[in-house]
Amino acid sequence: MSADIHIITRANMNLLDAVAPDVFDHPIQPALLAEFCDQPGHFMAVAERDHLVVGQIRAMLHYNPDEPPILYIDNLGVTPNQKRKGIATALFAAALDWGRSHSIGSYWVATELDNDEGNRFYESLDLKGVQMIYYEDDLS
């Protein structure tokens, strides 16, 4: 693999001072990053190459009153010129390892039906796709 994987904590969140394009959906906001790092049950790993973050994955433990916790893979991104080099697979594996370390037995990830690239990636991991409808709205 062409990048080093780091689990982000407050101690090393400065790694996110240098991020390649399209790794995140929006620019990193230091206060929000610190708040994320302080949340128990939240996970972020990054792929770093030549002192530049070229990929990231975020996950969280999803607790339920009627079943064991589930690992939710929230977001995965790799800069375009680093795709198809094993970075997304390594990041995904890091998230699953973190889930296993918290005794999580299952996980889930969602993406849009028209996200062909994302759907091909998850299918390459032998994940089973289930169609669903997702609803959202602003709270403002």
Q: How many domains does the chain have?
A: 1
25 in a domain, yes or no? yes
Give me the tens of pLDDT residue by residue for the chain, a chain 140 residues long: 579 999 999 999 999 999 999 999 999 999 999 999 999 999 999 999 999 999 999 999 999 898 889 999 999 999 999 999 999 999 999 999 999 999 898 998 888 888 888 888 888 888 888 887 777 788 77
**Domain enclosing residue 98, as ranges:** 4-124
76 in a domain, yes or no? yes
65 in a domain, yes or no? yes
140 in a domain, yes or no? no
For position 79, which CATH number holds?
3.40.630.30
Q: Determine the pLDDT at residue 1.
A: 54
Q: In what order do the strands lie in the sheet with 42-49?
A: 4-7, 42-49, 52-62, 70-78, 107-109
Question: What 3 state SS string does 94-133 have?
Answer: HHHHHHHHCCCCCEEECCCCCCHHHHHHHHHCCCCCCCCC
